[in-house]
Amino acid sequence: MAHNRADDIIIQKVSGVVDTTITDKVAVEEPLQIELAYSSATGLMHKVVAVTMRTPGHDPELAAGFLFTEGIIQAKDIAHIDQGRDDNRILVSLHENIVPVLANAARNFYSTSSCGICGKASIDAIHSVSAYTHVQDDLRIEAAVLYSLPDILRAHQNVFEDTGGIHASGLFTPAGELIILREDVGRHNALDKLIGHAVLYGHFPLSHCILLLSGRVSFELVQKAAMAGIRCIAAVGAPSSLAVDMAKDNGISLVGFLRENRFNIYAGGERIVVKD
């Protein structure tokens, strides 16, 4: 299914006292309604779980990643995903006798592109339990590899190149090779799309990978990464205090302000090889 991720609009460009009318590109932002279908004692149930504002594209991955990282389903629970004729509605059907953990989405909530946890029923619902907490890793990452990642990410950000207004999440090997990249107007959606790809194609856990974020690091981005078993998060921007606490609690290496051959280590410095 083809998706338009950037629109052409007419704008006025002002520089000093010069006013010029030009055609510009902006990132598309549209709602996506995520619905669940699952069996129960009273028959087949349908539940609208969320409406999120997103950039169209990779919607099945977004739905799968959202449901997984919110702790509503496990990676193996999905039977099939249908989008049908309505591009802004997606139905995720679970295998028979699989019951979603709807306590983690106790009410239908509206999730904006900038805030993925608005409307959570309680703080307890945020602290989802990862199935990969006890997975061992021997991940070691050289500083030189980290320095190279932002340029690689930017070079593959097609929608950002067109619009300048979109976030990206990229998954890399320890050697710095790009595995997968996803873009979206919402930083949470970009990460859900990336993790959703792993959900749909059985690539878990992601403990052998580096996650690079194009902006700042919030608590929920670390929580989503922890759900996927990611052990190293690097970001171009700054982390919040709660993001640092979450990284420490989950044994995640957290790097921020990664730019111009420098970075800060906020947690898990033992995985980062700064000197030969």
Q: Give the residue numbers annotated as catalytic, written as ranges.
A: 115
With 0-12 / 13-18 / 19 or more C-beta atoms within 10 angstroms meaning exposed / middle / buried, residue 100 is buried
Q: Do 178 and 170 meet the contact criterion of CB atoms below 8 Å apart? A: yes
Structure tokens at 202: 């059985």
Per the structure block, which two tokens stand in for 86?
């309505």
* Residue 140 · residue 170 · CB < 8 Å: no
Quick check: helix, strand or coil at residue 58?
coil
For residue 79, the tally of other CB atoms under 10 A from its CB is 12
Q: Could you give the strand order of the β-sheet that contains 178-184, starting from the edge strand earlier in sequence?
A: 178-184, 167-172, 210-213, 232-235, 253-259, 262-267
Residue 54's CB: how many other CB atoms inside 10 A?
A: 26
Residues belonging to the chain:
276
- Alpha helices (H) along 76-142: 123-126
Listed residue (82, 66, 76) closest to 96, CA to CA = 76
Measured CA to CA, the distance from residue 147 to residue 145 in angstroms comes to 5
